[in-house]
Amino acid sequence: MVRRVEPRPLVVTAATLVVVFLLWESALLAPLKLFVVLFHEISHGLAAILTGGSIERLRLFASEGGVAFTRGGNRFLILSAGYLGSSLWGAALLRLSAAGPGVRRGLLTAMGAALGLIALLYAHDLFTFGYVALAALTVILLALRAPTSWHHWVLYIVGSVSCLYAVVDIGTGILAGGPVAWIFGPRTLNDAAMLAELTGIPAFVWGILWTGIAVAIYGGTVLRLGPRGPAFAQVTGRRSAAQTLLDEIDRL
């Protein structure tokens, strides 16, 4: 008999938070962060299309930055879509991480195909094309060759980092500058700074708003997952008395 032991979702969330924040500035997390930056830029592009505009090209940088070149559309919604879109993409991946093996495999295959199309249509420089094409190939190989248990963890981890990206990036890029950046705007041109120019509302206000929304989306999604969240272990054999007792406590 094989029984899967599920930890409480808050335990998994806490572990994910610790790992992400500890490794945020390390090279180990750089490829994943750039993948989330791609979600961010795609969100800008989709907002442009949905509001009557178009995407001209996407560009990623080795410094873990990116930019979406768009034409037309609603500028307010396009600028707002980056961090909010990253959070929504992350929430969707988290929810789908709890789906059945066939759904997860199909999702990863579709994601890889979509990335390949994006590389062909919108990645006009060598670095962006190379990264997006490699990401597409990696995701497709993962979908077709990796064990289905890997699919669950990949979707959960990428979804978590995508949700947390807004919190960490805003905290380090917009709010970390202190009162000077709050009053006069951040030193670098980013979504919040451009939205401040457009609306007259300081960049730090947009930063706080986006951070709050990102935290709410991530927390709400994890709590809704409940016992369908990631499992840390599998136990083979008979259930112990301690396991039985824990099950009874959970039912109370």
**Per-residue buried b or exposed e for 100-137, using 16+ beta carbons within 10 Å of the residue's own CB:** eeeebbebbeebbeebbebbeebbeeeebbebbbebbe
Residue 43 half-sphere exposure toward CB, CA atoms < 13 A:
23
Could you identify the residue written with the tokens 């499992």?
231
Report residue 228 as tokens. 């369908």
The total number of structural domains in the chain stands at: 1
Instruction: Judge contact between 137 and 125, C-beta under 8 A.
Output: no
> What percentage of the chain carries pLDDT values higher than 70?
77
Which positions of the chain have pLDDT values less than 70? 1-10, 12, 171-188, 226-252
Specify the pLDDT at position 25.
77
Rounded (10°) angle between helices 101-122 and 75-97: 150
Cα–Cα dist 29/33, whole Å: 6
Specify the pLDDT at position 232.
40
Residue type, 79: L
Domain span at 131? 2-251
CA dihedral 74, 76, 82, 88 (to 10 degrees): -80
Report residue 179 as tokens. 């009162």
Taking only the tens place, the pLDDT of each residue in 177-209 is 555 454 545 556 788 889 989 999 988 888 889
Specify the pLDDT at position 174.
57
Cα–Cα dist 169/38, whole Å: 14
Residue type, 16: T
